[in-house]
Amino acid sequence: MTRLTAPSPATGDPAAAPAPAPVPAAADALGSPWPASARPGRGADLLVGGVGLAEAAERFGTPLYVLDEGEVRARARAYRRALPHAEVLYAAKAFLCSAMADWVADEGLGLDVCSAGELRLAVAAGFPARRILLHGNAKSPEELRLARRLRVGRIVIDGPAEIARLAALVAADAPQRVLVRVVPGIAAGHHAAVRTGVGGQKFGFPVRGGEAADAIARVLDQSGLELAGLHCHLGSQITEVEPYLRAVDALVRLLAEVRERHGVELDELDLGGGHGIRYLPEDAEFDLAEFAVRVADRLAVRCAEAGLEVPRLLVEPGRAIAGPAAVAVYRVLSVKRGADGHCFVAVDGGMSDNPRPALYGSPYSARLVGRRPGAGAMRADVVGRHCEAGDVLVRGVALPADLRPGGLLAVPAAGAYQLSMASGYNLVGRPAVVAVRDGRARLLIRRETVEDFRLREVGR
């Protein structure tokens, strides 16, 4: 049995917990990055949550996002088991709809939102506001007023203007619990655009140079603001635990400075999220069990060295819960072979529903579903339907040499930062989302149509 050394927030006593369960891995011969429920089906179909992807495509059309409810719930439970004394908040920016809010609430997770839209949707779905944390680098006065009116549990202060702005909305007898987002100077993440733990970008208060210390002092001077602790977010698609350990070291030093300067011990330490998943079978994946044990141990040791009580740990996984739970299904529109042998397989989606390859060069895999190949393999780029040379979904993937228009391609690991970042480019509507579980499929989000675009027009 592995023991987590973080103390119980209620008693301060060390508490033992069962060995953290790993996040479920895909089964049968499919392997990662497919959902754990993925199985071969009849007629070369692929079952996810007991539902055939080809069957779902025929019923609901394409492009289609098939979201495995069981996978979402299992991954949420894995976080709760691995971190029983921490607070786990699902990062809504990865993907949010009312059903997703229901599932993570049922599994005991909180919710991390970064806009009025995410906040309103969650509360409208019945998610308890006290279990919601609001952050973001440019919260509007209207968003702060909404958060106060809905009584969200915590607000993360990300810039100097927010301190006075939020304090002006709060009465001293009804304080708002806040965290201060600090930048510890630690680079982590798969792309420069998502490395948010270092200086020179728009988020938070750098520790180096004293900006974080000054912000903390200003917050403590506001009677209407209750400083609960510190927040940081290092980046995205992080597959190693070491950056989080360095963040613990930096933040505990800052906690000790706060106590020495102000005589206050802060209760919470939020390490953010960014936990990486597999997009390709050979990719590394974040080790949740290792994270749980090593971060708890490091936090306990550093706090003991500084003479501090161990603060309650908060984590904000988004991709690690939603990403592996969805599969995108596209229909092939054309197969174009160039004189140089290069092959382009064009599908009915693209960068409007998955901008990640265009933004970050993100790799994906794809496979034919619903038909057995009758020839060998070829190398091809799966490209989208948009008028952009960069609209490439999957580069250099092995596909059947007899692939033809009308075929169906399934792309795994499609649950995070695809539909949440989707656009209306070329007025191509966003795809439908279907939830699958125990052999049943139900529509969660209908397909966006041209009429939806027209309804936004108010004049000509």
For residue 21, the one-letter residue type is A
Find all residues with CB under 8 Å of 139, minimum gap 6, and list them: 155, 158, 162
**Smallest Cα–Cα separation from 328: which of 232, 234, 430?**
430
Cα 355-356-359 angle, rounded to 5 deg: 85
- 393 close to 350: Cβ distance less than 8 angstroms: yes
- Catalytic residue at 387? yes
Give the pairing type, strands 132-134 and 154-157: parallel
Distance of CA 380 to the CA centre of its chain: 29
Longest dimension (CA), the chain: 75
Place of tokens 């970050």: 360
What is the CB neighbour count within 10 angstroms for residue 181? 25
DSSP state of 235: -
Catalytic residue among 114, 232, 343, 387: 387
Dihedral sign for Cα atoms in the order 65, 71, 76, 82:
negative
Which residues, listed in sequence order, are joined to residue 368 by a DSSP beta bridge? 409
Q: How far is CA 128 from CA 19, 109, 124, 125, 173, in A?
A: 30, 11, 10, 9, 22
Whether 33 contacts 15, CB under 8 Å: no
- Return the active site residues: 387
